[in-house]
Amino acid sequence: MHDGPDPRGQVQMHRASVLVRQVLVLNEVMEYEMRRAMDLNDTDFQAMQHLLKNRAMEPGELALALHLTAAATTTVIDRLAGKGHVVRVQHPSDRRRLLIKPSADSVRRTMEKIMPMIMQVDDKVRSYDDAGQRLIIDFLDSIVAFMGERIAVLESSAPNPEPPDPTSQGS
C-alpha cells in the first residue's frame, strides 16, 4: 500500500499521510467554525483552549501560553469575561492571586458542539478488535511525537528578535 513515484517521477505520499494532512486542514476549519459559534477572535479562542485544557490558570500562566504581555492578556481575559466565557476566582491557597476558569456555561456550550464528533471517533475506534486498537494508538502516538519533535525544532530555530535599544535614535 506504499505508493511509489508517479508518472512524472515525483514520490506520492501514502494515503495515510494524505489523510493526516486532511485532518490537520479540517481541524483548522473546525476551529474557525468554533470561533464563529463562540463569537471569539483567534487569540481569545486560543486562550479558551488553554483554559479548557488546564481547567484554570493564573493570568501570568495564560500570558506565557499565549505569548502575550500581561496587559494584552488582561484585555483577552476582560473580553472573555464580558462574553461570559470565563470567570475570575480566588486562588485556593493564596487569596492575593486570581485564577481564570472557563465558565460552566461556556464549557457546556463548547462540549455540545464538539462531543458528537468525539463520540463518533470513540465509537469507531472501539469497533476495532484489540489488535486494531493497538495499531491505531501506535499510529496516533507516533503522529503526536513527530509533531512534538517538529514543534521543538521550529521553536529552537526561530529567530529571537532583539529587544529595541532605547538609547538608539534610529537610522
The whole-number mean pLDDT for each consecutive block of 10 residues of the chain, a chain of 171 residues, reads 65 93 96 95 97 96 96 97 96 91 96 96 98 98 96 87 54 43
Q: What is the pLDDT of residue 1?
A: 55
Q: What is the pLDDT of residue 127?
A: 98
Whether 6 maps to a domain, the answer reads no
Q: What is the pLDDT of residue 95?
A: 86
- Total of domains in the chain: 1
Q: What is the pLDDT of residue 8?
A: 74
* 23 CB-contact burial (10 Å; exposed 0-12 / middle 13-18 / buried 19+): exposed
Q: Write the CA distances from 162 to 155, 166, 170, integer angstroms.
A: 16, 12, 14
Q: What torsion do the CA atoms of 86, 74, 52, 18 make, to the nearest 10 degrees?
A: 130
Q: What is the pLDDT of residue 78?
A: 98
Q: What is the pLDDT of residue 170?
A: 47
Whether 8 maps to a domain, the answer reads no
Whether 21 maps to a domain, the answer reads yes
Domain span including residue 79: 15-103
DSSP H helix total and E strand total for the chain: 6, 2
Whether 152 maps to a domain, the answer reads no
Q: What is the pLDDT of residue 162?
A: 60
* 158 CB-contact burial (10 Å; exposed 0-12 / middle 13-18 / buried 19+): exposed
Whether 81 maps to a domain, the answer reads yes
Q: Write the CA distances from 122 to 36, 118, 126, 127, integer angstroms.
A: 26, 6, 6, 9
Whether 27 maps to a domain, the answer reads yes
Whether 135 maps to a domain, the answer reads no
The CATH number assigned to the domain holding 21 equals: 1.10.10.10
Strand partners, 138: none
